[in-house]
Amino acid sequence: MNLSEIVDRALSKAQSEGAEQAEAYAVRSRTLSLYVEDSRVKNLEEKLDGGLSVKVALGPRLGEASSTVGSMDNVEGCVSSSIKAARISAPDPHFMGMAIGGPSGISLPNVWDDEVAHIDPDALSSRGMEIVEACISQGDVKIPRGMIRVAGIETEVGNSNGMSAVHSSTLTYLHFTSMTSSGKAGEGEETFHSTRMNMDTASIGNGLASKARNASSAGEFKGRKTLPVIIGPGQLAEMLSTSIGFAVDSENVNRMRSAWASKMGEQVTSPELTIVDDPANPKGILSATHDDEGVPTRSKKIIDKGELRSFLYDVYNASMAGVDTTGNGMRRNPLNSQSIYQNPVHVSPVNMVVNAGRRSPDELMASMDEAILIEKFAWPQVNPMTGSIGLEVRCAHLLKRGEVQETVKHALLTGNMFDSLNSVVGVANDLTVTGSWILPTIAFDGMELVGNP
């Protein structure tokens, strides 16, 4: 069975059972995952995945079901389950209909890599061990855990409004941790996100060793310092996702959970920042001509020189707000390729691209008399509704004109992310893909490093 046959059968069955509207989303993927433990390959796992999600509307009553698909009996069973769910669900006053398709206004980004889609276990194992060897060859460092996931993903979505959209993409996701093997404990972390097999294994391994040694040599921070704080893409992406990402999510706007719900057209960040949701970016993991509801995607400015210009909408939340969808209804995510059909549609950026500055990170650091460079937080999330920050710092460097004066840990970075977004003091040019964000190193004022008295 191909995906078109599955979608067509699901829609036909749904309408024959009385659905006034129906949507079918079918997925086929091949995922190969490498797991490293204690500096050795622990195991390799290959998974061939195929499944279907069906959503139906009986008037204002909605039902949804998902299933693996091995035969057309699975397809028809999935449809029947969604019909049963709709019959017992409460009427939804906000449902105004399913997506209306159409041609995309962007060119199809090249997000398929045959090497990723068809890589064999031995080749992936070799890549993983190249990272391990590059790290442990530095001496006194080991790899407690590591994972590389690669996948080829094909999707098709169609509905009873005549909408139809297909998409193919590949995914490479890497997450490795490192730790010193003697003396003072120190840990490091490296991630990698791409649609291609273009990871620099030597650089990743060297970075893991360096970060573990830096953390090991860090001393306990004492006192308080209010200085510009420089945060790299790997840590910053999650901070922006849980602040800006949360604030522009239309579900949060509609429910008045967003700090920016009533600030459209206002200055919400420093003029240094322009952020575009760019579905045509070839580096983006989720780049596509249509979202996962089949709505054409388009490039849109979210923040233009500090001014809030757009929220992100899927079909349902756009109906609730009385506006047009922006093509941001997603099931796919940038980290995992398995069981996508089980994911409900949610509001998500396709690729949030933060404008790059002109200086390298080193030049940015050298331009400041004093600054704090964050290397690793325990968990880089902020309070999404208030923006408050209280992040445990596992490793940071105190800089003077870009030179490390002291490396510290056991401290808290405190402040408010929304306030600091209005106090950007520098943006570097090192655009890096991290999940659904493509962003550079950024320096902020307004945060305080707090240690023991």
Q: How far apart are CA 30 and CA 435, in angstroms?
A: 20
Other CB atoms within 10 Å distance of the CB of residue 392: 14
Q: pLDDT at position 452, please?
A: 87
Domain limits, the chain = 3-217, 219-450
Residues 281-323 pLDDT 10s: 999 999 999 999 999 999 999 999 999 999 999 999 999 999 9
End-to-end CA gap in the chain: 67
Q: pLDDT at position 131, please?
A: 98
Q: pLDDT at position 106, please?
A: 86
Q: Quick check: helix, strand or coil at residue 149?
A: strand
Q: What are phi and psi of 7, to 5 degrees?
A: -65, -45
| Angle value at C-alpha 183, between 181 and 185, nearest 5 degrees | 70
Sort residue 251 into left (φ over 0), alpha (ψ -120 to 50) or beta: alpha
Split at pLDDT 50, 70, 90, the class of 101 is: confident
Residue 71's contacts (CB-CB under 8 Å, 6 or more residues apart) are 1
Distance, C-alpha 129 to centroid of its chain? 26
CATH of domain 3-217: 3.30.2290.10
Residues 228-270 pLDDT 10s: 999 999 999 999 999 999 999 999 999 999 999 999 999 999 9
